Structure 1
Amino acid sequence: MNVGHTRPEDAQEGDLHVRVPAVAGRLTGLRHALAEWSERAGLPPDDSEALILASYEAMANTVEHAYIGQLQGVLDLRAVRDLARGCVTVTVTDYGRWKPPPADPGTRGRGLPLIRGLTATAAITPSTTGTTVAMSWPLPTKP
């Protein structure tokens, strides 16, 4: 399945960078691309599953919340293996509007706490031009 792979100028060999329409029908392909990438990056199975679930939640938030009232937007997914820092980083970026979580989310509002619980670090950065969710996990150390 072609999910819209692109390669930015600063991409390194082995990075994953994908830009797709922010629609629910694209998320399964992105999950598969992340699973393949995390295996190539050498993540242990538990970390790989955490990476896929946290990334999926960030992408689902983009689809559901970022482009309310707009015809369609895009989602950028980037996964990088950073040997210098000893980690892998996944960023999910949209170019919509930040919607602050309600004070009482009822039965909803579990996504951001889930992301934070599955990652070593997670930063959500809203701006006037969109939102970026940056998540990282440590690379396994060699015995």
Structure 2
Amino acid sequence: MAFTDLTLESPDADRFAFAPPPGATVTEYTVPEYTVPEYTAPAGPKPDRGTGHGMMEASDYAVSGEGWSSIVELPASYLPADLVESPLYSAATEPMGGGRLLSTALLNVFLTDDGRAFVGAVSPEQLLDAANGR
């Protein structure tokens, strides 16, 4: 397939004209204009890094691989300490060689028994290899 001509002009309004079929009842509604509310950051101090909340800096994590095969390693100190105690943790993850795996269609997350996390749009085996230093 190829294009022989491309025009980036607005199409004529009559292209979008609608003619209801005979006998149809048409009801028109006015949609109110939506305005995005202004964001105000919560008052008080920002959370410390290492508590599982807040922004990370580049020195807080490691990345191996490139592009779609990248794997991000988060240190044990960054994840919430009570994560593994949650009933949802065992329900949403499955055991895998030295930790637990959370698998989704978009990415996989491998949480090691020592608290580190390996995240990537790669196979679970690739995450396990990264955790084992291979």
TM-score when normalising by structure 1: 0.30
Q: Which has the higher strand share?
A: 1
- Higher relative contact order (Cα pairs below 8 Å, separated by 6+ residues): 1
Larger Rg: 1 or 2?
A: 2
TM-score when normalising by structure 2: 0.31
